A and B are shown apart, each in its own frame.
Chain A
Amino acid sequence: MGDFRKTGKGVIDTQQPVSFTFDGKSYSGFKGDTLASALLANGVHLMGRSFKYHRPRGPVGAGFEEPNALVTVTRGKGRMTPNLRATAIEIYEGMMASSQNRWPGLGFDIGAFNNTFSAFFPAGFYNKTFMWPKSFWDKVYEPFIRNMAGLGPAPTEVDPDVYGAVYGHCDILIIGSGPAGLAAALAAAKKDQRVILVDENVNMGGSLIGAGHVSIDEKSASDWVAKALKDLNKADNVVLMTRTSAIGYYHDNFVALAERLTDYIPEAQIGKTREKLHRIRAGKVILAQGAIERPLVFNGNDKPGVMLTSAAQTFLNKYGVAVGKEVAVFTAHDSAYSAAFELADSNVRIAAIIDAREGVSAELISAAEGRGIDVHIGSVISKTGGKKRVRSVEVYEPVHNTQKTIACDALLMSGGWTPSLHLWSQSKGSIKWDEAKGVYLPDLANENCVCIGSCNGDFGIKAALDAGSKAGGGRKVYKTDEPVFGSGQVFDHLPNYIKPSKTKAFVDFQNDVTDKDIKLAVREGFKSIEHVKRYTTNGMATDQGKLSNLNALEIAAKALGKQAPQVGLTTFRPPYTPTTFGTFCGYRTDDLFEVTRKTAIDPWAEAQGAVFEPVGIWRRAWYFPKAGEDMHAAVARECKATRDSLGIFDASTLGKIEVVGPDAAKFMNIMYTNPWSKLGVGACRYGLMLGENGYIYDDGVVGRIAEDRFHVTTTTGGAPRVYRHMEDYLQTEFPELDVWLTSTTEQWSVIALNGPNARKLIEPFVEGIDLSPEAFPHMNVREGKICGVPTRLFRVSFSGELGFEINVPSHYGRAVWETLFAAGEQFDITPYGTETMHVLRAEKGFIIIGQDTDGTVTPQDAGMSWIVSKKKKDFVGKRSLQRSDLVAEGRKQLIGLLTDDPKTVLEEGAHIVADPDQSIPMDMLGHVTSSYWSESLGKSIAMALVKDGFNRMGDDLYIPMEGGVTHKAKVVKPVFYDPKGERLNVV
């Protein structure tokens, strides 16, 4: 047992010793200990180094607000976690923790030289220096600053743990399980409400845990809590969640909870979800988060061994640990006395109580003296002794200007209490200043939300219990026996006889912000509290100002000559406590991040050894290399085979939307530039869609299946946005139209057959459709059967060859594909991927939306004026097309390019100029949008958007590349292959 353990105190399990290491040294604690309590039980206070000055530090708190005692815990590959608060992590057998931000060690840290020269590093020092010589900033100063910065080590390996995320709903969400929260839950449980009660700690009960001096309804605090939890556990309508932090409060009572599930169990047991995000929508939120004690700002208040009074009380009551053998208490609030008495009653010697106030109740003083404790009224601590542990305090009595040194090995401080308003403020509830208590309190709610207990300024256990019962819908009035909570005095300045330049009184411990820094900020004109924060970094540490903000406010207000409420607080932001990235990811990592969509035919392509490319959220077969082929060779072969005989292509990813209803044609007329009313049933038409701004938005072939039914296809990437675009117009602009839209992308598998033998292949498999060219001309659609399954058979072509697109219900896709592929052997059928599809269409000059157009291209620019109806009264984008710039001369227009050297394939994205000899910045005419080697033509082909391109036919243009290489190319029409389209008519 550690030297500082107190038998009979605490809720740890003394039957279960737990061994762990800190900085490589072995220690022993008990199950239920935090790392901090176990180290303190072993007499270790030095647990960390501060951010800027590398000052030795120990825990100042006992919970999640801890700014000082930050450690790194390692537990095998990928499971290194920096910046954990020693006061909030539970020890487990074999835990390996180490201190941070020190070198070579925690005891001797080179970085502490910053402390020696701290006079030169006040707030904002970096704004004032490191500017000369200029080049030193990049090369010397900043790298140096960066290397000094940071707390724990950066991760280097992938986290192997898994995380979860769920949604939840309840009538009442209660956050905090101290007396207020428990009483609220007890009352609400009886009202048949669905209740969730959460607490960030391991045990519920808050300040009641192990509180020896408290009784409730004639029971000890511990017994009352146990009974309350038993009742709540029994109730079907109550969910209790511990180790769960409420991290964020969003619109409409939407609260995020982060639950920790495995960090406290030994590594051998890992294998389940580490942390889980609960997104709770609550009817009502009850905030019972309590209050956080405020440090006092005095010279030497940061030494290991100096901590909050309430922290010492928690270490004693919860963990049975005395934080010292000879403890001094420095306070400005009555509540510290009862804490001191509790320690004294556990046989901890209280060296003295130093009270900064003049007026302290005689009752408290006599109670102290009754325990043999010296009380120094109207006195402050002017300095503390000791280096890596406080060894003494100097008590200064300003009125008589006397100093007295008292030996101690721990110093407790209490500057009063700060109600936790974080979540309340995140919910946009307003706050008001309470002059009597010297605190901000909740004022007007913005959501269905109440604050109860000490976070509402209702200090004391009875006040909290009664407020809890009321908030939970009950009327219970509790009877308690408890120490007087009392009141305190807020000091914006503690007197000292020592010159300010010789003192260091910390406000933000982690970031090493002193009272002088805050005064300096004000002196330099940083008068808003947000400015003070940003200039000094006060409140920006990992505790986000939980311990420092109110002290900073008081000091800044005094420096500004204002009252605290005139200065105000900085904005509270989520998360309440730092939260693991993985928790926000939940299960959506790796393959589940954005699940790759695959077609029904995808496994076949994979088995054939296809190379895939991601397209939008799909993956598509890119090309099908045979042994020894690279992409170039494979694509050349696939192109040739398709043009010569027959190619087969999986086009299932094409977006599909079924547009149905009496007004379907009317709707199509509005959404597309071309007319649809006269399109016969069974006919297809290529459709072009514009955005409101007149630029090309999407395209695709549309078949009219019936008078009131269109089978619309979109680009692969465009499917979701085209659907949204249509719905948007249908619902907001043209709600009178009787039309329904259904996304059918995943309902159809689409097999594209291209090549002179396409008809011959399918003929034997098709039922109910006359495939003869006369009965089934190009750009038509028929319904019937293929391979015995229903099909919508399109005769269309994106290659210029005779082509069919066979739509079958998705689950038949692979079977039909395999049947056709087997039968296609006679025609040397060749599967091809997206790259060949691109080459074939480019040879024909067919555009790809998003590649040859980019959201700044009109139909006219793309050479597609023919598709824009002049007769239609309206369609989306029509008005914009008439804007002056859209009809101006010299716009960028889509043209073809043939390189001087036919073997040179231009780089897509390369820019084009008329004069390659001009100096930079060059006058650029446009860029290459598509560029391929055309095996069929034996030369390279390219398409490009070029200023005034239509008027440059036959001109030579230049493409200056890196390293002085310049390509020359001639402007041509962008149709390179079979310009008359004769190949579509092969019989």
Chain B
Amino acid sequence: MKFSARSLFANALSGHENWPEQFPNKEPKKEYDVVIVGAGGHGLGAAYYLASKYGITNVAVVEKGWLGGGNTGRNTTIIRSNYLFDESARIYDHALDLWDGLSQELNYNVMYSKRGVLMLAHNVHDVQSFKRHVHANRLNGVDNVWLSPEECQKIVPFLDISQNRRYPVMGGAFQQRGGVARHDSVAWGYARGASKLGVDIIQNCKVIGIRRGADGAVEGVETEKGFIGAKKIGVSTAGNSSVLMEMAGLRFPLESYPLQALVSEPVKPIVPCVIMSNAVHAYISQSDKGELVIGAGTDQYTSYSQRGALHIVEHTIMSICEIFPIFRRMRMLRNWGGIVDVTPDRSPILGKTPVQGLYVNCGWGTGGFKATPGAADMLAYTIAHDAPHKINAPYNLDRFVGGRLIDEAAAAAVAH
């Protein structure tokens, strides 16, 4: 059933009794052309693009819990593409292009809101670093402009730009096309889109092994619901990627850290865009429901527990309140943690693996949500062609051997 104001109206008259399932949960068939492990936004998106763009519809997405229940459903929903390096700009901007129009393509409102992302500079080093980004973005065709403190304040009227602050605002980089989207809807929209094209979504079905043949190539996945055959397997399991890769006998350069986020009680609209501050390391936006959505860096220690430590929360909140003291009286409603998988250069691994038929999309660290459509498309492309697209080719595993790292964080090096 097509979603529209009209269908909503029609269904209202019948008491909403006739809406069909958006993504029926299937029992696994014996064999598929492609099995995607992990029903997050990336995995579901990959299945959707396999079916919609690359003509492979005999696909299953296998998920150990409920779809969209990992980092897709527990991030701060920030979308931007103002990255420094060409490789990053290409993949995140590809994602941004797909975000724009995703609701229409999926016929599912994912509420992608181009309200803009403002990154505040608080010292000379920030200014140098952000300008470097702005210049690189301009020549790469990525929108991102440098704003004076006064221009920043025009966008965020409650921003204190007096220069005697501990962290004065010395300007900012603003990407108008950046913004937020409704995270759950992204997973649901892709799931519904993929289901309509014949993809089987199999929830509550944990993968416990990857079966490989005598020639080393994959033959399928062992799951709690039995063996599912597949010549091609795409793994998109975020924090559990190294566990999955180990099933195929591969050691991956990944470390998993808890990453926390929090929301306040809802209030009337005040935060007009996403605001980030690298110097204090925290960021904030406001959901359409009115909650302030706040995040920061990862916890310091590796862990698989989806909760974090209190002092990280304290530091996150005090950082936000340092930049925006007017929020000190707001109240935290909910604080949660997810597990992010981090590579040595904090950029993803997206492409083929040394095992024939095994493809991987992992290592997105704290930045995976914004890449969802782009990463999904690239994973689908790579699986369909058994070769990476030029956009994701640099994100190979070999770069850790050769040293061709894509290290955005290192590029924003610490002050002298």
Which residues of A are in contact with B by a Cβ distance under 8 Å? 51, 78-83, 119-120, 122, 125-132, 134, 137-138, 142, 145-147, 149-159, 161, 163, 165, 248, 250-251, 254, 256, 277, 279, 426, 428, 500-501, 516, 520, 523-528, 530-531, 534-535, 537, 542, 544, 571, 573-575, 578-582, 584-586, 588-591, 593-594, 596, 613-616, 693-695, 715-718, 721, 848-851, 853-856, 880, 883-886, 907-911, 913, 920-922, 924, 927, 960, 962
Would you give the shortest CB distance from A558 to chain B, in whole angstroms? 16
CB <8 Å contact, A127 and B185? yes
CB <8 Å contact, B328 and A581? yes
From A126, A130, A159, A721, B325 is in contact (CB under 8 Å) with A159
The residue of chain B having its C-beta at the shortest distance from the C-beta of A163 within the complex is: B328
A922–B168 Cα gap in the complex (Å)? Answer: 34
> Is the CB of B387 closer than 8 A to any CB of chain A?
no
CB <8 Å contact, B405 and A856? yes
Q: Report which residue of B25, B86, B290 has the largest number of chain A beta carbons within 10 angstroms of its beta carbon.
A: B290
From A78, A129, A581, A907, B5 is in contact (CB under 8 Å) with A129
> Is the CB of B214 closer than 8 A to any CB of chain A?
no
CB <8 Å contact, B326 and A150? no
The residue of chain B having its C-beta at the shortest distance from the C-beta of A696 within the complex is: B413
Q: B residues within 8 A CB of A886?
A: 403
A279–B124 Cα gap in the complex (Å)? Answer: 37
A921-B140 contact in complex given A127-B189, A909-B129, C-beta closer than 8 Å: yes
Q: A residues within 8 A CB of B310?
A: 248, 250, 254, 256, 279
From B188, B267, B336, A150 is in contact (CB under 8 Å) with B267
Q: B residues within 8 A CB of A531?
A: 66-68
Would you give the shortest CB distance from A428 to chain B, in whole angstroms? 8
CB <8 Å contact, B328 and A589? yes
- A-B pairs with beta carbons under 8 Å apart, 16 shown: A82-B265, A131-B109, A145-B288, A520-B19, A524-B19, A525-B24, A542-B266, A591-B166, A596-B166, A851-B125, A854-B412, A855-B407, A855-B410, A907-B131, A907-B135, A962-B138
Q: A residues within 8 A CB of B89?
A: 921
CB <8 Å contact, B132 and A159? no
Nearest 10 A/B pairs, CB to CB: A855-B410, A150-B290, A909-B132, A525-B21, A528-B66, A909-B131, A883-B403, A154-B270, A128-B3, A578-B331
The residue of chain A having its C-beta at the shortest distance from the C-beta of B93 within the complex is: A921
From A153, A544, A613, A717, B334 is in contact (CB under 8 Å) with A544
CB <8 Å contact, B4 and A850? no
Given A571-B306, A589-B321, 13 more pairs with CB closer than 8 A: A131-B109, A134-B104, A150-B289, A525-B21, A528-B65, A528-B66, A530-B66, A581-B332, A584-B332, A716-B416, A909-B132, A909-B135, A910-B131
A884-B402 contact in complex given A251-B309, A589-B318, A908-B132, C-beta closer than 8 Å: yes
The residue of chain A having its C-beta at the shortest distance from the C-beta of B20 within the complex is: A524
Which residues of B are in contact with A by a Cβ distance under 8 Å? 3-5, 7-9, 12-13, 15-17, 19-25, 65-69, 73, 86, 89, 101, 103-104, 107-114, 122-125, 128-136, 138-141, 158, 166-168, 182, 184-185, 188-189, 203, 264-270, 280, 287-290, 305-307, 309-310, 313-314, 317-322, 325-336, 344, 399, 401-405, 407, 409-416
A256–B308 Cα gap in the complex (Å)? Answer: 13
Would you give the shortest CB distance from B336 to chain A, in whole angstroms? 5
CB <8 Å contact, A850 and B19? no
A907–B309 Cα gap in the complex (Å)? Answer: 42
The residue of chain A having its C-beta at the shortest distance from the C-beta of B337 within the complex is: A573
Would you give the shortest CB distance from B308 to chain A, in whole angstroms? 8
A856-B411 contact in complex given A128-B8, A909-B131, C-beta closer than 8 Å: yes
CB <8 Å contact, B114 and A132? no
CB <8 Å contact, B131 and A585? no
Q: B residues within 8 A CB of A910?
A: 131, 135
Would you give the shortest CB distance from A560 to chain B, in whole angstroms? 11
CB <8 Å contact, A138 and B335? no
CB <8 Å contact, B266 and A885? no
From B3, B8, B266, A120 is in contact (CB under 8 Å) with B8
Q: A residues within 8 A CB of B402?
A: 883-885
The residue of chain B having its C-beta at the shortest distance from the C-beta of A582 within the complex is: B328
Q: B residues within 8 A CB of A500?
A: 15
A284–B141 Cα gap in the complex (Å)? Answer: 59
From A155, A250, A573, B330 is in contact (CB under 8 Å) with A155
A134–B112 Cα gap in the complex (Å)? Answer: 11
CB <8 Å contact, B108 and A138? no
Would you give the shortest CB distance from B176 to chain A, in whole angstroms? 11
The residue of chain A having its C-beta at the shortest distance from the C-beta of B279 within the complex is: A614
CB <8 Å contact, A152 and B268? yes
Would you give the shortest CB distance from B221 to chain A, in whole angstroms? 21
The residue of chain A having its C-beta at the shortest distance from the C-beta of B113 within the complex is: A142
CB <8 Å contact, B123 and A613? yes
The residue of chain A having its C-beta at the shortest distance from the C-beta of B318 within the complex is: A585
Q: Report which residue of B68, B109, B410, B411 has the largest number of chain A beta carbons within 10 angstroms of its beta carbon.
A: B109
CB <8 Å contact, B167 and A614? yes
A614-B123 contact in complex given A146-B269, A149-B290, A151-B265, C-beta closer than 8 Å: yes
A908-B131 contact in complex given A80-B329, A132-B4, C-beta closer than 8 Å: yes
CB <8 Å contact, A589 and B322? yes
A512–B115 Cα gap in the complex (Å)? Answer: 28
A580-B104 contact in complex given A122-B16, A149-B288, C-beta closer than 8 Å: no
The residue of chain B having its C-beta at the shortest distance from the C-beta of A162 within the complex is: B328
A624–B132 Cα gap in the complex (Å)? Answer: 28
A122–B19 Cα gap in the complex (Å)? Answer: 12
A580–B9 Cα gap in the complex (Å)? Answer: 41
Would you give the shortest CB distance from A711 to chain B, in whole angstroms? 20
Q: A residues within 8 A CB of B129?
A: 909
A571–B306 Cα gap in the complex (Å)? Answer: 10
CB <8 Å contact, B131 and A128? no
CB <8 Å contact, A855 and B25? no
Q: A residues within 8 A CB of B4?
A: 128-129, 131-132
A585-B317 contact in complex given A528-B66, A573-B334, A909-B128, C-beta closer than 8 Å: yes
Q: A residues within 8 A CB of B111?
A: 126, 137, 142
CB <8 Å contact, A581 and B265? no
From B24, B112, B288, B320, A581 is in contact (CB under 8 Å) with B320
CB <8 Å contact, B328 and A585? yes
CB <8 Å contact, A581 and B321? yes
Q: B residues within 8 A CB of A715?
A: 416
From B101, B139, B401, B415, A911 is in contact (CB under 8 Å) with B139
From B23, B65, B325, B336, A525 is in contact (CB under 8 Å) with B23
